[in-house]
Amino acid sequence: MSKLLLFLLLVMLGLACTSAPGIQRQELLGAWTSDGPSFDFDIRNSTVLYEFDMQEHPYALEGDVMVVDFGSAELGVQRRRILALSTDSLVLRDVRTGMSTTYRRVQ
């Protein structure tokens, strides 16, 4: 009985902490930088071009989580929660590490 109550409490807390879905792919399109000398990545309709390898990797949106498949055993599939999105800024938090990064749109 206590395990059931604990489970229900965790589910309710999880629902309360989940960001609302509704991110539109069109809002993400374009090049983003974390203030480096170049863009970090360029989000396109179905792929993300990363500066570090200059290759396009497929991605999907699962609610407010951007899931990128790097297609390699080393990098695997990475998930980043979209914490904030405006016309000129994007805040992503790595689901695995919890590290957040703020990006600005490259003009």
Return the CATH number at 34: 2.40.128.280
The per-residue pLDDT for range 13-52, each reduced to its tens digit, is 443 333 445 888 999 999 999 988 899 999 999 999 999 9
- Assess if residue 46 is contained within a domain: yes
Does some domain include residue 57?
yes
Q: What is the pLDDT of residue 39?
A: 96
The answer to whether residue 33 is domain-embedded is yes
Per the structure, the count of domains in the chain is 1
Residue 15 lies in a domain: no
| Domain housing 46 | 23-105
- Please give the pLDDT value at position 36: 82
Q: Which two tokens stand for residue 37?
A: 């000398």
Question: pTM for the complete prediction?
Answer: 0.77
